[in-house]
Amino acid sequence: MASFALRCWTEISRAQLVSNYRAICATVGAGVEVAPVVKADAYHHGAVEVARVLAAEGVRWFAVATAEEGAALREAGLQQRILVMSDALPRDHEALAHYRLTPVIHSLTSLQAWDALARTRQAPLPYHLKIDTGFGRLGAMSTDAEVVGAVLAASHVRLEGIMTHFASATDYESRQTEEQLGCFQRLLAVLAGAGIRPSLVHLASSAPVAYGMREAWGNMVRPGIALYGYVPAARGAAPPNVLRVKPVLQWKASVLTVKDLPAGFPVGYGALFRAPKPMRIAVISAGYADGVPHTLSNKGQVIAGGRLVRILGAVSMDVTTIDVTDCPPLRPGDPVTLIGQEGGVSQDADELARAAGVISYAILCGISSRVRRIYC
């Protein structure tokens, strides 16, 4: 295929990714395994490349959401252990075993099915068991006695890990995390009393690591958003953030055209904006098909010419219009920045998300596949 000009792209820093990973490892210490979460194509950072970079750092586990995501890593040559965290559909069990993926089992019925497959294959397949400690989403809600009975009965598979997931890890005005932790610890004690001691115990994603919640670390943590440079904001009397990370990704787009508008001239679909005075606008090559939230219409900002400038009118599918009246002269092909830094001005995914009325996860994961990635 011919080489095309960059219209909309992300720049992803391998060095910053490594720095963030090392910061997480240093925070939890040598006794805690770090399993980077590379689901959703590593939050759009590119799961295969992210995994390759971290594999060179000695990572032993990766966490993904689906069997298909795990298989893609295997087919790219990654040999590390891969934990599939979302409940696999029954027809995926064979694929899990084929690709040497370790499933998180979310119900005792699924455990029976996984055990039956292991019996058929005559292989002691490993699994991690997830307990719903009060999230009300995925995870077994059985009694402690039922869990013990099911684990002991599943004699053809090996319980390697046990886990839960916090619903309100950043909300220090709520007791939910404390209640979930207590529920989980009680089950661990019951399992130990029955002679069941999984080698891996994990509860924490990014927030419990960043806010130093050691009792929730177990001996493995599952950092996601922190790996890519963001710490979820806390509510209430939170302890200090002990983790220092920086964004790995910058998001840019090219200027397509620059034009002068007379006072009163409309901009974009529905004429959501009309120039109150003579203005200069630029049309940039990024729209909602690239991941720019439509909710940024008439209120978001980007960085152009080293200055924060407003989005004017509706965000379109392929383009967005910005106000460059007070910017240094821009020409077609010049870059503008949606996420990143130009000179002394910066905007990160958190700031873009607040303007759009969403969360930073949605901004990063929403960057579409047609946005080209450049690794540096």
Catalytic residue numbers read 39, 269
Of the candidates 140, 74, 145, the residue with the CA atom closest to the CA atom of residue 109: 140
Q: Which two tokens stand for residue 33?
A: 């395994």
Strand partners, 260: 280
39 within 8 A of 63, measured Cβ to Cβ:
yes
Q: Which two tokens stand for residue 102?
A: 């370790």
Q: How far apart are CA 347 and CA 333, in angstroms?
A: 21
Q: Dihedrals φ, ψ of 279, to 5°?
A: -140, 160
Other C-beta atoms lying within 10 Å of the C-beta of residue 362: 15
Q: How far apart are CA 208 and CA 217, in angstroms?
A: 7
Q: Which two tokens stand for residue 362?
A: 């949605």
Q: How many CA atoms lie within 13 A of 346 on its CB side?
A: 10
Sign of the torsion angle spanned by Cα atoms 211, 214, 216, 219: positive
Length of the chain: 376
Q: How far apart are CA 177 and CA 195, in angstroms?
A: 27
Task: Identify each DSSP E strand in the chain by its residue range.
Answer: 8-12, 33-34, 61-64, 81-84, 102-105, 125-130, 157-163, 200-202, 220-221, 249-261, 266-267, 273-274, 279-284, 301-304, 307-312, 320-323, 335-342, 345-347, 372-375
